[in-house]
Copies of this chain bind each other. A is one copy, B any other.
């Protein structure tokens, strides 16, 4: 019996799907495909060596997740968001962050704590050698690592989805120099340090509240830079 998974959450076809899905999602969220970019099913299918059919399935999933939008005869576009839509999501994300610390918090394992320390080191390194794309990847890793400390699976999925929908828009402001990149690096480094302190003493609610505060402030800074 080579399949140790009785629930059949894997399989050849599903693995291919997941690989394509994650790759395209990363490209969108790391701004390789900026908001408004038009994608072609054909060229994407050729790039990954599959036909349009499975590629369309992946694109349809990304559309369900709010990252793409297809219209017949025109094309499939990477979604954008107005400042008002963004504010709604950020308000919600703030509440969900607090929920993560209150509903089903899990104290980090030693391995997980090491992971956070590595993230902190990467953040410090970024201050000296700026790299926007590495920064995008880093804040994603940090968010996902924090999310892993929540035992509520639906809450994890929802928070993750909202993160992918909004942070790339926020990063756009950073890439376009609406926000000061160097300053953001330092702020993030401080955030990681502060949350790490809370995690090390096992105060998950404190960590959640710090995260909530930074979600709020990052949006406020973007608002002020835009106006």
Which residues of A are in contact with B by a Cβ distance under 8 Å?
8, 11-14, 56-57, 60-61, 64-65, 71-72, 74, 85, 88-89, 91-92, 95, 99, 103-104, 152-155, 158, 162
Q: In the complex, which residue of chain B has the Cβ closest to the Cβ of A13? A: B72
Q: In the complex, which residue of chain B has the Cβ closest to the Cβ of A64? A: B64
- CA separation between A104 and B104, bound complex, in Å? 25
Q: Is B152 in contact with A92, judged by CB distance below 8 angstroms? A: yes
> Contacts of A65 on B, CB cut-off 8 Å?
64
Q: In the complex, which residue of chain B has the Cβ closest to the Cβ of A73? A: B11
Q: Which of B12, B57, B85 contacts A153 (CB 8 A)?
A: B85
Q: Which of B12, B103, B154 contacts A162 (CB 8 A)?
A: B154
What is the CB-to-nearest-CB distance from A89 to chain B, in angstroms, rounded to a whole number?
5
- CA separation between A104 and B60, bound complex, in Å? 30
Interface of chain A: mostly helix, strand, loop or mixed: helix
Residues A91 and B103 in contact in the complex (CB < 8 Å), given A60-B61, A61-B60, A162-B154: yes
- CA separation between A154 and B91, bound complex, in Å? 10
Q: Is A99 in contact with B95, judged by CB distance below 8 angstroms? A: yes
Q: Is A153 in contact with B88, judged by CB distance below 8 angstroms? A: yes
Q: Which of B11, B61, B95 contacts A71 (CB 8 A)?
A: B11
> Contacts of A60 on B, CB cut-off 8 Å?
57, 60-61
> Contacts of A85 on B, CB cut-off 8 Å?
153
Q: Is B71 in contact with A8, judged by CB distance below 8 angstroms? A: yes
Q: Which of A13, A56, A88, A89 has the most CB of B within 10 A?
A: A88
Q: In the complex, which residue of chain B has the Cβ closest to the Cβ of A56? A: B57
Q: Is A72 in contact with B11, judged by CB distance below 8 angstroms? A: yes
- CA separation between A104 and B84, bound complex, in Å? 13
Q: Which of A95, A104, A162 has the most CB of B within 10 A?
A: A95
> Contacts of A74 on B, CB cut-off 8 Å?
8
- CA separation between A158 and B89, bound complex, in Å? 11
> Contacts of A88 on B, CB cut-off 8 Å?
104, 152-155
